[in-house]
Amino acid sequence: MVFNTGAALLDAVVLAVVSHEDVGTYGYKITQEVRNVIELSESTLYPVLRRLQKYGFLDVYDRECGGRNRRYYRITTSGMTQLNHYKGDWKEYSEKITGIFEGGVVHE
């Protein structure tokens, strides 16, 4: 994709991906799912996960997998609230951009 991805959009996409699994999901799987829509490296993802954890939007826990601990991320109630705000903002923003692309008038 040729468009730059800002921090808020990246936060929103990561929260959405994590929200799909009630028990949470791990970093590599999050990276793979996000890469379906945004160019992203694991070195970019982990600071995002730490920031979302710091804000209280994600819980983190370790679970044994194949003899090793794997770190899992699970969305919190406040994370779901934030994700719902992002969804509303995205809907409004994308409708405005689509309107411009299609030659319509954009209303505030």
9-65 pLDDT, tens digit each: 999 999 999 999 989 999 999 999 999 988 888 788 999 999 999 999 999 999 888
User: Is 35 contained in some domain?
Assistant: yes
Cβ contact 26:17 at 8 Å: no
User: Is 52 contained in some domain?
Assistant: yes
Higher pLDDT, 40 or 100: 100
Task: Please give the pLDDT value at position 108.
Answer: 61
User: Is 106 contained in some domain?
Assistant: no
User: Is 11 contained in some domain?
Assistant: yes
Quote the number of domains for the chain.
1
Is the per-residue pLDDT at 74 higher than 90? yes
Q: What is the value of pTM for the model shown?
A: 0.87
> Which range of residues forms the domain containing residue 40?
7-101
- CATH number, residue 14: 1.10.10.10
The full 3-state SS of the chain, as one line of letters, equals CCCCCCHHHHHHHHHHHHHCCCCCEEHHHHHHHHHCCCCCCHHHHHHHHHHHHHCCCEEEEEEEECCEEEEEEEECHHHHHHHHHHHHHHHHHHHHHHHHHCCCCCCC
